[in-house]
């Protein structure tokens, strides 16, 4: 009973807080952000929120966004869609029609972003997707959707290039993929890329969402004697797979995992087992760009992020902050809040930010980024590609 | 040879599943309550172990006792304060009540601990046992053995203690037990507490194996369901048999049909079993 | 003419236990057959077998020559076989009237719900429950519940009515009322099987008696014949007592 | 007669909504109508027959995918929606034969497992359903407002149809028989109620409209994926709505759907991350203090407050 009461009290307090803290200034730019703050994707939702918040606070601290000489405060309207895609769509419509959001940040991941972009397209609201990489999201012919992740193959191709060039003894590839949109798409691309490089795919298995044990799949993997293991999943899947590979003594020359190792939670949870795990992501704190946005250089962004959150930003957090920065640049360039004009400014954008060079292709997906490949070395992710920001050489196992 | 490894995988996994299900089975069997809080209880046990290790360096194998005790208290209060009020009501009512309570508890954990996955990383990991071509993960085997010992202890308590006899009496016939002077409400609360104890202890043991997050509670709960139906309700041996059976089914299913079909297979078997033998593999023999 | 109901070598086993053991018995139209026997003799099992709740494991049950052994309970009910339960089984949150209407609608003659309710009022008047027609069944006294069972059975418009201990737990004036009612039901042309514990009651109402012991039928005949039967006395009172009584005139009741 | 009049008035009042609200209000209205269908559907098997079914999500998802697959092969929308209902109904008849002999918790679990199996089947047949990648449906060539109205009226019509079915069933032998089964199944059998047949009929009724709701829903959001259309909350919320509005009644499910969605909308707006706990709080309060639903509470005043619910 006490627990119930406490929760209710907390609920009440939070409610009061939420209603009094709402910004009531007149000159505000409202950006709607449907996020999965609860449910299966909530770790991802919270990351995105950290990025958006940093952008909004930095922009407001600098006096807001100048639109035709007049400063506007940024207000981000968050709504939790509980990791439920239809709910994300519903929320997107609500943010546009009820909350009168001027712009939208798309919900997390390719599936939800694709579903929600249909709504913002119909209302003509410029929408930036910070975490959607699949081509299918952008090839719908929509004019108001822009994305800060390059297509999935830009993660896979450099990897296969590095590995096949670096050690000709790597011949046999085993793929274990989570049966989910992004993770399956990466696995399929990997399979094709490996074949194209003359590698032999000795195992290609999918596992269901919610799998609690990978022992059998790993037994099978052990039997296939792979030189390269490529596993996809969310962080919890990958932690478990890494652990169970060690349990059965599977230690390939190359172990690649996407999309966990970029997060510090992965190295914390796997400890020494994280060593030499390779991965690729759309961004990495080791990259160095000199941007024209509010953060300036990548180092400055990293510092600002660390100051606020006490951790090094990862690619999802950076991409979210970049989405805000990019939106701000477009608004300032357009000199108006008119959605069509801001949209045109986004489409015509060609400049450099802390996140990297920003130029959107005809579908709205960013084309100017070169996603880094990295490897956990000495407990930290270090960049091994591209050459311009490379911190160390790729290490092959024995 | 590879089948021996798959068999070993299945047995070890089955041991963990049994640990997950024992407390759930006890509550279901004795109180006829499906405790949907069970998954969250396990996760809470994991968090107790996580923090005990992070702040005080207490090994999860020791903090299993602490986690169990804490969860016993929580379980006792939940039953005595809330569930007891509707214990005589039809199935649907208690089911939906524990569902509501689970929403609250899970949400509270999400706020308190966030959904980020954590894991207990032992300073001295147990490594793997190599028996010829077979690898046995040391931590899993150790957790399984400890869970087995706890279960055996529960079994002795139920068989030999006064309270245990009272619990069995309530399970057999609530009215008769009341007439014989058993304080049924108190026994209900103790039983629910014992179920929570087993959940908490299991959660602590699992903290060295699974990433910890409130999001995992429904996975644990799902497994507990299947194990109970496989093994038969309210029986300690039933939960053990059901757990091992599920471990073997998933292990061989994943090996033969591919890992994506392992879950489908276990639910299909659950449906078939409900159809042909609702009392489970061991039948309704209970705690005797 | 074929018997209304005939059991041919009917057995019912539960695991290793034979609750009914090759019972052959026929019931003629119009009679009131009393079924007696010590506790656990298989009386209720016999009703369960006839009504299809626990189908016979061997033998056949015939209703006017038609084999009904394997029919589902609801089909048997619709053929005009009604029963009451030893432990009363009302629908607790329905009114008395609705309880009775269920019998009329699903097994009786009522073509519609409305007609069922109308017919049910007649049955309630007959059983003396008319004043409490709209009360929820869960609020009734035991005697009222027993009568409700009867009314439900009647509403099914039965050819054959099986009454399982309708008098258990009633006081003597209530028993007298119940007996009078059973006789009046029989006068309407309904064949009746009465399971009864009180020997006095069953003898007074039955035209014929059948005795079950350990699942086997040990005697059938007029009440007088049956009560004089040595096997029956043994079954009820034990061998010693039966031997002492041997030769003496049968007691009034046992 | 009174029920029919009420239904007519309600339907008329609801059809005026497009005059009063913008697209978002229409979207909310569509959701209320959808949940009214699901709650009404659950009421057939859970409220009338007393079988605690968690298969609503399975029927909904099956309907959504049936319709989506048919549409992807170019079937006309009306046909796809109808077929979705038919498929769900057929599936209920088949699966009902297997699980309706179970009682209480066992039935609850079996009905839950049905949804899980279906979800995994969809997940593992990517050629037909897109598997874990989800499935896209053709976007109707309509303006924003026209699309919003079309789907609102479709869902509203389905809700009215489902309620009409509920009224007919409640007054028929079927409804009467189901109430008998709910209160004492053995006695009902002995009284001549074909319990198995009636339960199967109720299960099918609880499937057909839910399946169609899934189909309309899929066309409406034009992107579906297994975790969404087989979401366990799709099975639980209708049940909470029925409890809220009054179990076994005709209009209880509708009132419950309206109240719960309205409440959720409020909570969703003001409490960013604790809405799940708020929903849990409602459930707990509901179960402990008003087991007969709000309607009964209002009707009989505070005198009826008591902890235990009499309904199975």
Are residues B106 and D276, on separate chains, in Cβ contact within 8 Å?
Answer: yes
Burial group, residue D60, by CB count within 10 angstroms (0-12, 13-18, 19+): buried
- Range with the poorest average pLDDT among A86-90, D248-252, D292-296: D292-296
Contacts of C97 in chain D (CB under 8 A): none
C and A in touch (3+ CB pairs within 8 angstroms): no
Please tell me the total count of domains within chain B. 1
Please give the radius of gyration of chain A, using alpha carbons only, rounded to the nearest integer: 22
B99: contact with D, CB 8 A cutoff: yes
pLDDT single digits (tens) A273-319:
999 999 999 999 988 899 999 999 999 999 999 999 999 999 999 99
D271 near A CB under 8 A: yes
**Per-chain mean pLDDT for chain C:** 85
Neighbour tally for A205: CB within 10 Å: 20
Name the residue with tokens 């259309």.
D229
How far is CA C12 from each of CA A14, A291, A296, C26, C77, rounded to the nearest angstrom? 67, 89, 89, 17, 20
Rounded mean pLDDT, C2-13: 89
Interchain contact, A85 vs D228, CB within 8 Å: yes
Q: What ipTM did this prediction achieve? A: 0.83
Distance from CA of C51 to the nearest CA of D (A): 7
Q: Which among A340, A338, A364, A360 is positioned nearest to A351, based on CA atoms?
A: A360
Stated as kind and residue range, the H or E segment containing A372 is none
Question: Looking at the predicted structure, is the pLDDT value of residue B190 above 80?
Answer: yes
Disruptive mutation site among C48, C73, C164 for chain D (greatest number of D CBs within 10 Å): C73
The predicted structure's pLDDT at residue D16: 83
* Strand arrangement, sheet containing C66-67: C17-27, C5-14, C58-63, C66-67
Strands (E), chain C: 5-14, 17-27, 32-36, 58-63, 66-67, 81-83, 160-164, 191-195, 208-213, 216-221
Query: What residue in B sits closest to D276 (Cα-Cα)?
Result: B103
Report which DSSP code applies to C136. Answer: B
Per the omega criterion (within 30 degrees of 0), is the bond before B280 cis?
no
Angstrom distances, CA of residue C18 to CA of C15, C53, C86: 8, 16, 21
Q: Is C74 near chain D, with CB under 8 Å?
A: yes
Q: With both helix axes pointing from N to C terminus, report the angle between A85-97 and A109-123 in degrees, rounded to the nearest 10.
A: 30
Q: Alpha-carbon distance A308 to A305, whole Å?
A: 5
Domain assignment of residue D240, yes or no:
no
pLDDT in the model for residue A282: 93
Neighbours of D2 (CB within 10 A): 6
Q: Quote the DSSP letter at residue B18.
A: H
With a pLDDT cut of 70, the percent of chain A lying above it is 93
Task: Using alpha carbons only, give the angle A27, A29, A34 rounded to the nearest 5 degrees.
Answer: 145
DSSP secondary structure letters along chain D: -HHHHHHHHHHHHHHTHHHH--HHHHHHHHHHHHHHHHHHHHIIIIIIS------HHHHHHHHHHHHHHHHHTT--HHHHHHHHHHHHHHHHHHHHHHHTT--HHHHHHHHHHHHHHHHHHHHT-HHHH-GGG-EE-PPPS--HHHHHHHHHHHHHHHHHHHHHHHHHHHHSHHHHHHHHHHH-HHHHHHTT--HHHHHHHHHHHHHHHHHHHHHHHHHHHSEE-HHHHT-THHHHHHHHHHHHH-TT-SSHHHHHHHHHHHHHHHHHHH-SS-HHHHHHHHHHHHHHH-TTHHHHHHHH-GGG--S-----
Measured CA angle at C105 (ends C99, C110), to 5 deg = 125
Instruction: Give burial (CB, 10 Å; 0-12/13-18/19+) of D305.
Output: exposed
For residue C52, the chain D residue with the least C-alpha distance is D190
- Distance (Å, whole) CA A174 – CA A224: 8
Please say whether the beta carbons of A54 and A42 come within 8 A: no
Mean pLDDT for chain A?
Answer: 88
Before A210, cis peptide (omega within 30)? Answer: no
B104 min Cα distance to partner chain A (Å): 8
Q: Spell out where A130-216 has E strands.
A: 145-147, 172-178, 200-207
D23 vs A79, A93, A178: nearest CB: A93
CB proximity C85 to D under 8 Å: yes
Bridge partner residues of A6 (DSSP): none
First to last CA, chain A: 58
Residue A24 has what pLDDT?
43
Rounded to a whole number of angstroms, the distance from the CA of A342 to the nearest CA of chain D is: 22
Residue A19, pLDDT > 80, answer no
| pLDDT category of residue A387 using cuts at 50, 70 and 90 | confident
In tens, the pLDDT along D231-265 reads 888 998 998 899 888 888 899 999 999 998 988 88
Is A256:A229 a contact under the CB 8 Å cutoff?
yes
pLDDT at A139 > cutoff 80: yes
Q: Looking at residue A329, what is its pLDDT?
A: 95
Cα separation, D145 vs D150, in Å, equals 9
pLDDT score of A326: 96
Give A388 to chain B, closest Cα distance, Å: 33
Among B118, B135, B255, select the one facing A216 at the smallest CB separation.
Answer: B255
Asked whether the beta carbons of A125 and A101 are under 8 A apart, the reply is: yes
CA–CA gap between residue A371 and residue A361 (Å, rounded): 16
Give the number of other Cβ atoms within 10 Å of residue D300's Cβ. Answer: 11
User: Does D293 map to a domain?
Assistant: no
Domain around D70: 21-231
Burial class (CB in 10 A: 0-12, 13-18, 19+), D144: middle
Q: Is it the case that residue B61 has pLDDT exceeding 50? A: yes
User: Distance from A43 to chain D by nearest Cα, in Å?
Assistant: 13
Q: What's the average model confidence in pLDDT over B93-117?
A: 90
Whether the CB of B276 is below 8 Å from some CB of chain D: the reply is: no
Task: List chains touching D (3+ CB pairs under 8 A).
Answer: A, B, C
Assess whether pLDDT exceeds 70 at residue C244. no
Mean pLDDT (whole number) for D291-299? 62
C2-11, D27-36, D163-172 — which is least confidently predicted?
C2-11
> Which one of B108, B111, B263 has the shortest CB-CB distance to A208?
B263
Distance from CA of B235 to the nearest CA of D (A): 16
Q: Find out whether B233 and B274 touch, Cβ atoms under 8 Å.
A: no
CA distances from B196 to B77, B210, B236, D107, D163 (A): 11, 19, 15, 25, 43
Best D280, D306, D312 member to test B by mutation, with max B CBs in 10 Å, is D280
Query: Which residue does chain A place closest to B119, by CA atoms?
Result: A269
The confidence score (pLDDT) of residue B280 equals 61
- What's the per-residue H, E or C state across A272-289? HHHCCEEEECCCCCCCCC
Comparing alpha-carbon positions, the chain A residue that sits nearest to D143 is: A122
pLDDT digits (tens, 9 = 90+) for C60-74: 999 998 999 999 999
**SS3 assignment for B95-121:** HHHHHHHHHHHHHHHHHHHCCCCECCC
What residues of chain C lie within 8 A of the CB of D199, using their CB?
A: none
Residue A11: band (very low, low, confident or very high) from pLDDT cuts 50, 70, 90:
very low
pLDDT at D63: 97
Largest Cα separation within chain A, whole Å, is 67
Domains of chain C: 5-80+158-248 (3.40.50.300), 91-156 (no CATH)
pTM: 0.86
What is the model's pLDDT at position A150?
94
Residue B287 has pLDDT above 70, yes or no: no
Nearest Cβ partner of B263 from A210, A223, A244? Answer: A210
Q: Which residue has the tokens 């009061």?
A: A16
Cβ–Cβ of B261/D120 closer than 8 Å? yes
Give me the mean pLDDT over the A174-179 stretch.
Answer: 93
pLDDT score for B146: 92
User: Does residue C170 carry a pLDDT above 60?
Assistant: yes
D196 touches chain C (CB under 8 A): yes
Distance from CA of C60 to the nearest CA of D (A): 20
When scoring C80, C91, C99 by the number of chain D Cβ atoms within 10 A, the one with the most, hence best to mutate, is C91
- Cβ atoms of C223 and C206 closer than 8 Å: yes
Cβ within 8 Å, pair A213-B6: no
Q: What is the mean pLDDT of residues D57-70?
A: 96
The answer to whether B116 contacts chain A (CB < 8 Å) is yes
Contacts of D191 in chain C (CB under 8 A): 74, 77, 102-103, 106-107, 152, 156
Q: In the structure, what pLDDT confidence band is assigned to residue D298 with cuts at 50, 70 and 90? A: low
pLDDT at A218 over 50: yes
Residue D168 falls inside a structural domain: yes
Contact call for A216 and B252, based on CB within 8 A: yes
Residue D289 is predicted with a pLDDT of: 82
User: Domain limits of chain A?
Assistant: 5-150+285-359, 153-281+372-389
- Counting the structural domains of chain D, the total is 1
CA A236 – CA A245 distance, rounded (Å): 14
pLDDT for A2 beyond 60: no
Of D105, D110, D277, the CB nearest to B271: D110
**Residues in B touching D309 (Cβ below 8 Å):** 86, 89-90, 93
**CA C116/CA C104 separation, integer angstroms:** 5
Question: Would you call B112 an interface residue with chain D, using a CB distance cutoff of 8 Å?
Answer: no
Q: How far is A94 from chain D, CA to nearest CA, in Å?
A: 6
Homologous superfamily in CATH for domain A153-281+372-389: Response regulator (3.40.50.2300)
Q: What percent of chain C has pLDDT over 70?
A: 93
Residues of B whose CB is below 8 A from A43:
114-117, 213
Instruction: Reply yes or no on whether the pLDDT at C168 is more than 80.
Output: no
Sheet of strand A228-232, all strands in order from the earlier edge strand to the far edge: A200-207, A172-178, A228-232, A254-258, A277-280, A373-377, A380-385
* Digit-coded pLDDT (tens) for C182-210: 898 898 889 999 988 777 788 888 999 99
For residue B31, the model assigns a pLDDT of 87
Cβ of residue D222 closer than 8 Å to a chain A Cβ: yes
Least confident of A336-340, A393-397, C165-169, D178-182: C165-169
The string of DSSP letters for A137-160 reads: HHTT--SSEEESS--THHHHHHHH
Q: Distance between alpha carbon C40 and the CA centroid of its chain, in Å?
A: 16
Mean pLDDT to the nearest integer, B66-82: 95
Give the CA distances from residue A353 to residues A357, A368, B83, B281, D4, in Å, rounded to whole numbers and listed in that order.
6, 11, 57, 64, 65
Q: Locate A36 and state its tokens.
A: 């999965």
Give the closest of A7, A176, A236 to B213, CB-based: A236
Chain B residue numbers with beta carbons less than 8 Å from the beta carbon of A235 are 117, 211
The pLDDT score that the predictor gives to residue C253 is 40
Mean pLDDT of A188-195: 94
Lowest-confidence pick of D72-81, D89-98, D260-269: D260-269
Domain holding B64, by residue range, is: 2-116+133-276
Average pLDDT score, chain D = 87
Token pair belonging to A381: 């992710």
Question: What band does C243 get if pLDDT is binned at 50, 70 and 90?
Answer: low
Of A104-108, A274-278, B70-74, B131-135, which range is least confident? Answer: B131-135
Q: Give the lowest-confidence range in B40-54, C75-89, D35-49.
A: C75-89
Percent of chain A with pLDDT over 90: 67
Contact C72 D194 (CB under 8 A): yes
Query: Is A13 a residue whose pLDDT tops 80?
Result: no
SS3 C148: helix
- Chain B residue with CA closest to D240: the answer is B96
Q: How many helices and strands (H and E) does chain A possess? A: 13, 15
Q: Does residue B127 form part of some domain?
A: no
pLDDT band, very low/low/confident/very high, at C247 (cuts 50, 70, 90):
low
B107 inside domain: yes
Please tell me the number of Cα atoms within 13 Å of C101 on its side-chain side.
23
**Which residues of chain B does A179 touch, with a Cβ-Cβ cutoff of 8 Å?**
260
Name the packing angle between helices B236-257 and B2-31 (round to 10°).
140
Q: Indicate which CATH number applies to the domain containing B254.
A: 1.10.3470
Cα angle value A304/A305/A306 (rounded, 5°): 95
Separation of alpha carbons A92 and A34, rounded Å: 7
Task: Check whether C42 has a pLDDT greater than 80.
Answer: yes
Taking residues B266-278, what's their average pLDDT? 79
A32 pLDDT above the threshold of 80 = yes
The verdict on residue B80 lying in a domain is: yes
Side-chain-facing half-sphere of A283: CA atoms under 13 Å? 30
Q: Tokens in use for A388? A: 């311009």
Percentage of chain D exceeding pLDDT 90? 46
Distance of CA B79 to the CA centre of its chain: 17
Backbone CA torsion sign across D94, D100, D102, D107 = positive
The listed CATH number (3.30.230.70, 1.10.1200.30, 3.40.50.300, 3.40.50.2300) that belongs to domain A5-150+285-359: 3.40.50.2300
Q: Does D78 touch chain C (CB under 8 A)?
A: no
pLDDT, residue B105, reads 96
């Amino acid at each position: 009973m006490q627990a119930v009461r406490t929760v209710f009290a907390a609920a009440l307090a939070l409610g009061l807080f939420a209603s009094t803290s709402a910004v009531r200034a007149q000159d505000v730019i409202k950006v709607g952000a449907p996020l999965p703050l609860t449910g299966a994707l909530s770790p991802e939702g919270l990351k995105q929120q950290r990025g958006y918040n940093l952008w909004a606070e930095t922009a407001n601290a600098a006096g807001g966004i100048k639109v035709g000489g007049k400063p506007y405060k940024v207000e981000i309207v968050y709504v939790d869609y509980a990791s439920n895609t239809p709910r994300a769509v519903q929320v997107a419509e609500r943010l546009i029609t009820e909350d009168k959001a001027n712009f939208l940040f798309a919900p997390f991941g390719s599936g939800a972003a694709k579903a929600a972009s249909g709504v913002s397209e119909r209302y003509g609201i410029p929408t930036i997707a910070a975490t959607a990489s699949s081509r299918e999201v952008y090839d719908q012919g929509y004019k108001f959707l822009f994305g800060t992740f390059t297509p999935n193959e830009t993660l896979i191709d450099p990897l296969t290039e590095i590995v096949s060039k670096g050690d000709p003894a790597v011949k046999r590839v085993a793929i274990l993929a989570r049966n989910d949109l992004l993770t399956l798409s990466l696995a399929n691309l990997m399979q094709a890329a490996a074949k194209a490089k003359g590698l032999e795919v000795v195992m290609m298995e999918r596992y269901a969402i919610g799998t609690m044990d990978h022992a059998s799949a790993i037994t099978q993997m052990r039997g296939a004697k792979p030189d390269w293991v490529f596993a996809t999943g969310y962080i919890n899947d990958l932690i478990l797979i890494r652990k169970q590979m060690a349990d059965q003594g599977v230690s390939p020359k190359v172990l690649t995992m996407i999309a966990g190792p970029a997060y510090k939670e992965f190295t914390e949870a796997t400890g020494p087992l994280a060593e030499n795990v390779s991965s690729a992501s759309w961004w990495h704190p080791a990259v160095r760009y000199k941007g024209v946005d509010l953060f300036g250089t990548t180092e400055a962004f990293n510092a600002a992020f660390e100051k606020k959150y006490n951790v090094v930003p990862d690619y999802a957090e950076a991409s979210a902050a970049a989405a805000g920065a990019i939106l701000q640049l477009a608004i300032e360039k357009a000199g108006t809040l008119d959605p069509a004009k801001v949209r045109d400014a986004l489409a015509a954008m060609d400049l450099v930010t802390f996140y990297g060079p920003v130029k959107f292709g005809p579908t709205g997906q960013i084309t100017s980024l070169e996603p880094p490949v990295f490897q956990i070395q000495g407990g930290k992710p270090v960049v091994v590609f591209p050459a311009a920001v490379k911190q160390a050489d790729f290490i092959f196992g024995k | 040879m590879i089948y021996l490894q798959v068999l070993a995988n299945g047995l070890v996994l089955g041991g963990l599943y049994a640990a997950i299900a024992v407390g759930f089975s006890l509550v279901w069997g004795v109180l006829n309550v499906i405790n949907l809080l069970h998954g969250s209880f396990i996760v809470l046990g994991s968090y107790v172990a996580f923090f005990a290790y992070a702040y005080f360096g207490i090994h999860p194998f020791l903090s299993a006792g602490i986690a169990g005790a804490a969860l016993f208290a929580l379980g006792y209060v939940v039953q005595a304060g809330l569930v007891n009020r509707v214990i005589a009501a039809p199935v649907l009512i208690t089911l939906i009540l524990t569902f509501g309570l689970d929403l609250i508890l899970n949400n509270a954990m999400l706020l308190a601990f966030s959904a980020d996955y954590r894991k207990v990383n032992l300073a001295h990991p147990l490594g793997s046992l190599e028996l010829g071509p077979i690898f046995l993960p040391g931590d899993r085997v150790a957790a399984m053995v400890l869970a087995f010992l706890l279960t055996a202890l529960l079994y002795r308590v139920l068989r030999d203690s006064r309270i245990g006899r009272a619990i069995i009496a309530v399970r057999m016939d609530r009215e008769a037990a009341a007439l014989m002077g058993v304080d049924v409400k108190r026994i209900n609360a103790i039983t629910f507490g014992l179920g929570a104890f087993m959940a908490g202890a299991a959660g602590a043991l699992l903290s060295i194996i699974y990433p910890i997050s409130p999001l995992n509670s429904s996975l644990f709960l799902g497994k507990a369901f299947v194990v109970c139906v496989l093994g038969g309700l309210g029986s300690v041996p039933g939960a053990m048999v059901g757990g091992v059976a599920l471990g073997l089914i998933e292990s061989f299913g994943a090996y033969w049909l591919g890992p994506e079909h392992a879950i489908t297979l276990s639910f299909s078997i659950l449906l078939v079993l409900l159809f042909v033998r609702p009392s489970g593999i061991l039948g309704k023999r209970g705690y005797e | 003419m074929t018997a209304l109901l005939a059991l041919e070598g009917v057995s019912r086993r539960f695991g290793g236990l034979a609750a009914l053991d090759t019972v052959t018995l026929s019931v003629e139209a119009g009679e009131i057959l009393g079924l007696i026997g010590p506790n656990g003799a298989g009386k209720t099992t016999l009703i369960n077998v006839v009504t299809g709740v626990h189908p016979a494991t061997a033998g056949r049950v015939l209703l006017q020559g038609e084999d009904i052994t394997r029919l589902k309970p609801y089909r048997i009910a619709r053929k005009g076989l009604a029963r009451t339960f030893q432990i009363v089984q009302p629908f607790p949150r329905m009114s008395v009237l609705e309880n009775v209407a269920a019998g009329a609608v699903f097994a009786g003659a009522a073509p519609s719900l409305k007609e069922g309710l109308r017919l049910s009022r007649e049955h309630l008047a007959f059983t003396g429950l008319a004043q409490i027609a709209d009360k929820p069944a869960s609020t009734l006294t035991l005697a009222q519940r027993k009568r409700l069972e009867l009314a439900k059975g009647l509403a099914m418009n039965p050819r054959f009515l099986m009454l399982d201990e309708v008098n258990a737990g009633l006081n003597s004036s209530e028993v007298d009322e119940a007996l009078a009612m059973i006789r009046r039901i029989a006068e309407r042309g309904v064949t009746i099987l009465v399971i009864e514990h009180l020997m006095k009651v069953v003898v007074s109402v039955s035209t014929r008696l059948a005795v079950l012991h350990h699942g086997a039928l040990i005697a059938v005949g007029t009440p007088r014949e049956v009560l004089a039967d040595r096997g029956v006395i043994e079954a009820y009172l034990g061998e010693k007592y039966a031997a002492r009584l041997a030769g003496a005139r049968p007691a009034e009741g046992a | 007669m009174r029920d029919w009049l009420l239904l007519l008035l309600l339907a008329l009042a609801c059809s005026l909504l497009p005059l009063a609200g913008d697209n978002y209000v229409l979207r909310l209205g569509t959701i209320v109508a959808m949940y009214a269908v699901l709650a009404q559907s659950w009421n057939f098997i859970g409220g009338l027959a007393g079988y605690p079914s968690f298969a609503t999500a399975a029927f909904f998802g099956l309907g959504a995918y049936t319709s989506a697959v048919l549409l992807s092969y170019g079937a006309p929308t009306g046909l796809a929606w109808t077929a979705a209902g038919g498929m769900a109904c057929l599936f209920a008849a088949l699966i009902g034969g297997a699980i309706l002999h179970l009682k209480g918790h066992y039935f609850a679990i079996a009905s839950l497992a049905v949804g899980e199996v279906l979800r995994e089947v969809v997940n593992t047949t990517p050629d037909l359903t897109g598997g874990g990648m989800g499935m896209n449906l053709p976007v109707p060539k309509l303006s924003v407002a026209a699309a919003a109205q079309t789907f609102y009226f479709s869902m509203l019509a389905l809700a009215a149809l489902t309620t009409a079915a509920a009224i007919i069933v409640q007054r028929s032998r079927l409804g009467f028989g189901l109430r008998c089964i709910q209160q004492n199944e053995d006695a009902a059998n002995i009284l001549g109620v074909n319990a198995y047949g009636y339960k199967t009929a109720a299960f099918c009724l609880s499937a057909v409209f839910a399946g169609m709701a899934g189909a309309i829903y899929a066309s409406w959001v034009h992107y579906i994926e297994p975790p969404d259309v087989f979401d366990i909350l799709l099975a639980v919320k209708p049940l909470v709505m029925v409890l809220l509005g009054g179990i076994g009644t005709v209009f209880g499910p509708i009132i419950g759907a309206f109240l719960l969605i309205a409440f959720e909308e409020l909570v969703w707006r003001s409490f960013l991350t604790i809405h799940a706990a708020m929903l849990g709080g409602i459930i707990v309060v509901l179960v402990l203090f008003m087991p007969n639903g709000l309607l009964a509470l209002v009707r009989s005043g505070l005198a009826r407050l008591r902890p235990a619910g009499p309904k199975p």
